[in-house]
Amino acid sequence: MTDDMDRVQQHVEDCARDALAAHALRQRQPGRTTCANLDCGADIAPVRTALGAQLCMDCQTAEEAQAAHFKTWGRR
Ligand SMILES: [Zn+2]
């Protein structure tokens, strides 16, 4: 028998698994030497490339600011 708490628990586990899978995928991507933003194309510092960076500092900062702005709980 499934009650509401079981469904909530399952949802939380699904979200955690998805987030971990997305994180693992990002970690496997090789870093870029130039910004992935086609409108930018700036060089990425070798230390950031080694860490798997896809965007230059400016674009990464802008993307994180936008992501934080639009982040809402419970939305996929
Ligand atoms: Zn950029």
Ligand 1 centroid – CA 34 distance (Å): 8
Number of domains in the chain: 1
Ligand 1 centroid – CA 11 distance (Å): 35
Token representation of residue 14? 């699904």
Ligand 1 centroid – CA 20 distance (Å): 26
Instruction: Please give the residue range of the domain that contains residue 45.
Output: 33-68
Ligand 1 centroid – CA 46 distance (Å): 15
Task: Flag whether 25 is in a domain.
Answer: no
Ligand 1 centroid – CA 6 distance (Å): 44
Task: Flag whether 46 is in a domain.
Answer: yes
Query: What pLDDT is stored for residue 76 in this prediction?
Result: 56
For 12, 37, 43, 45, 65, the CA distances from 19, given in Å and listed in that order, are 11, 23, 29, 27, 19
Task: Flag whether 17 is in a domain.
Answer: no
Query: What pLDDT is stored for residue 25 in this prediction?
Result: 72
Token representation of residue 73? 């709980």
Task: Flag whether 40 is in a domain.
Answer: yes
pLDDT along the chain (76 residues), means of 10: 87 92 76 95 95 93 89 61
Query: What pLDDT is stored for residue 21 in this prediction?
Result: 86
